[in-house]
A = this chain, B = another copy of it.
Amino acid sequence: MLKISALKKLIHELSQLPGIGPKTAGRLAYFILKNKDYSKNLREALVQVENEVHDCPVCFSFTDNEAECDYCLDPMRSDDIICVVEDPANIERIDSSGVFKGRYHVLRGALSPLDGIGVEDLKIKELVHRIEKKDDMGEPLTKEIILALDADLEGDTTVLYLSKSLREMGFKVSRIAQGVPIGGDIDYIDERTMGRAMEYRVEL
- B-contacting residues of A (Cβ < 8 Å)? 1-7, 9-10, 12-14, 16-20, 24, 26-34, 36, 38-43, 45-53, 61-64, 69-70, 87-89, 91-92, 108
Contact = CB atoms under 8 A, between A and B. Distances in A.
Contact of A40 (B4, B6, B50): B50
B48 A10 contact: yes
A6 B65 CA distance: 12
A96 to B, nearest CB: 10
Contacts of A6: 45, 48-49, 51-53, 64
A53 B33 contact: yes
- The interface residues of chain A, by DSSP majority, are classed as helix
A2 B88 contact: yes
A17 B25 CA distance: 10
Contact of A41 (B7, B13, B28): B13
Contacts of A29: 49
Contacts of A26: 89
